[in-house]
């Protein structure tokens, strides 16, 4: 039954994500490793982005410190991901997920003995067949990689356990699908999205975070503070009745309504109207 649920939701997610990701991939950076399933490019001397191609160039990120490395997300289906990562860094690797959807916690998570994830997503059916140990992340947790720290920020709305990872010193972070990569699937409420956007925008301003790398990065669709502010405006206007959603042609995952403004699509349902 879990496999059937996973397969149905996987197809729905794939179609929904692809709907808002029509632009081609134009990611800059030197290619440092690749196989048939993923290409890793360099962001800076100790940070890399992996681009897969099953679900709208789903993105994974590798951050290296002096003592260990952090791999954020594992794509949908990437053969030998552990070996690809080991060809980039010789440091021990900690795997963490921005959320539990199968384009971020696909089959490659089984190459790693432990998965670190927000408890809000830890019981998701997509993780039912994971063979390793699931460790709960905590909001505000600081992951020390040795000379480099990454702060864990819970950013629910897309899923209950959506999480953003912020590197304050580098001036950027990694938000998975928390803000939609331009096409947000809102399984939670608009009120939750408002609180998440406000909290994260405040942290971006406090720490001078220039942008967040999203879960489906095409080289141009960074999540900026302005994007988060715009999503707050959209959410408030929808709740106030100033902005009306249109019927979602496919109504995938029960998200039967869609609103577009400020270059953002938010897919939602009647249950989101809180």
What contacts 72, CB < 8 A, 6 or more positions away?
60, 61, 62, 63, 96, 97, 98, 165, 174, 176
* pLDDT of res. 13: 53
**Which pLDDT tens digit goes with each residue over 106-134?**
999 999 999 999 999 999 999 999 999 99
> C-alpha distances in angstroms, 198 versus 42, 201, 208?
30, 5, 15
The length of the chain, given as a count of residues: 274
Give the least confident one: 10-24, 34-48, 211-225.
Answer: 10-24
pLDDT-derived band at 14 (thresholds 50, 70, 90) equals very low
User: Where do the structural domains in the chain lie, given as residue ranges?
Assistant: 2-272
Give alpha helix (H) positions in the chain. 2-19, 81-86, 190-207, 225-239
Does residue 153 sit in helix, strand or coil?
strand
| Domain 2-272: assigned CATH number | 3.60.15.10
Mean pLDDT of the chain: 92
pLDDT-derived band at 241 (thresholds 50, 70, 90) equals very high
* pLDDT of res. 249: 80
* pLDDT of res. 253: 77
- pLDDT over 60 at 75, yes or no: yes
């Amino acid at each position: 039954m879990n496999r059937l649920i996973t397969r149905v939701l996987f197809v729905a997610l794939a179609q929904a994500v692809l709907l808002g990701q029509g632009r081609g991939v134009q990611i800059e950076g030197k290619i440092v490793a690749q196989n048939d399933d993923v290409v890793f490019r360099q962001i800076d001397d100790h940070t890399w982005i992996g681009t897969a191609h099953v679900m709208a160039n789903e993105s994974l990120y590798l951050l290296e410190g002096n003592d260990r490395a952090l791999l954020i997300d594992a794509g949908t289906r990437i053969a030998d991901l552990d070996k690809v990562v080991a060809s980039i860094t010789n440091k021990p690797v900690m795997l963490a997920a921005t959320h539990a959807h199968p384009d971020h916690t696909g089959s490659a998570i089984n190459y790693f003995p432990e998965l670190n994830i927000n408890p809000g997503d830890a019981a998701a059916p997509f993780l039912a067949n994971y063979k390793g140990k699931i460790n709960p992340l905590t909001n505000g947790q600081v992951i020390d990689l040795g000379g480099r720290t990454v702060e864990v920020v819970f950013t629910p709305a897309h899923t209950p356990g959506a999480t953003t990872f912020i590197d304050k010193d580098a001036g950027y972070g990694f938000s998975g699908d928390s803000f939609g990569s331009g096409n947000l699937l809102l399984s939670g409420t608009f009120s939750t999205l408002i609180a998440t956007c406000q909290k994260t925008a405040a942290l971006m301003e406090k720490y001078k975070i220039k942008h967040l790398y999203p879960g489906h990065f095409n080289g141009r669709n960074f999540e900026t503070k302005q994007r988060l502010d715009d999503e707050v405006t959209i959410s408030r206007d929808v709740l106030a009745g100033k902005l009306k959603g249109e019927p979602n042609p496919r109504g995938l995952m029960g998200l039967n309504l869609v609103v577009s403004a400020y270059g953002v699509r938010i897919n939602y349902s009647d249950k989101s109207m809180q």
